[in-house]
Amino acid sequence: MKGLAAVGLGLAGALAGIPMAAIAFSAPATGRIRAPERWWFGGATRPAFVIVTAAGTGIAAAIISIAMPPTVALPSYWIFAVIGVGLAIIDVRCRRLPHCLTAVLWTSSGVTFIAAALIDGDGGPLVRATSAGIATAIIMLAVALALPGQLGLGDVAFAGTITFSLGWLGWQAACLGLLAGLFLQGAAAATRRRQRDSDGLTPMGPALLAGWLLAVALSS
């Protein structure tokens, strides 16, 4: 049954990757994020980019469905997998993590976590997730203010929602996901320095998403 669920959610994630590609590859460097015309077919995005994005969202969604039990909280992780891939693409392209998309992650996680807490009659995981997310956001904001130009507010918000999501699974998952993301970010930045790539700072979104996915996969 779990294998069938993984296939189903993976295919659904791949289909969701088509409009996600339209949004991610049409996102401007500044200003509002808008869905382009014919977004349900990928908009004006090159077919190869649509296929790669759909493959990424499908694989991420399948991993989530394998690692996570079928609980009320599962939909928020599926949404995170799909939108997270889109955010990573936007960050690579435009060096930004739009707040409108991270807000969707905060909201979807919050709604499902509250629903799960009410159904289970246990508010402990919700308190833990909230504490992890807020603490991470505050720490990252302090770093951003102390080191101007090193972190953007999009990085702060995305890191916060990473640990908010993982905090539901436990403190270990939250710490692992954040630290793994930061380690990958440091490794990527070091590689760029060795290659003398001076094209701005290394986008943090892909590393944070990889850390989140790793933590979810190892949480089962």
What is the gyration radius of the CA atoms in the chain, in angstroms?
Answer: 17
Contact yes or no for 131/113 (Cβ under 8 A):
no
Q: Where are the domains of the chain?
A: 2-218
Contact yes or no for 36/102 (Cβ under 8 A):
no
The reported pLDDT for the residue numbered 118 is: 96
H helix runs in the chain, sequence order: 2-26, 47-67, 74-94, 99-120, 124-146, 153-167, 171-194, 205-218
Can you tell me the mean pLDDT for 89-102? 95
Q: Tell me the per-residue pLDDT of 111-169, one tens digit each, with 9 for 90 and over.
A: 999 999 999 999 999 999 999 999 999 999 999 999 887 789 999 999 999 999 999 99
Lowest mean pLDDT, pick from 116-120, 146-150, 170-174, 202-206:
146-150
- Region of 27 (left: φ > 0; alpha: ψ -120 to 50; beta: rest) is beta
Q: Tell me the per-residue pLDDT of 23-75, one tens digit each, with 9 for 90 and over.
A: 999 999 888 998 899 988 899 999 999 999 999 999 999 999 999 888 999 99
Can you tell me the mean pLDDT for 93-119? 96
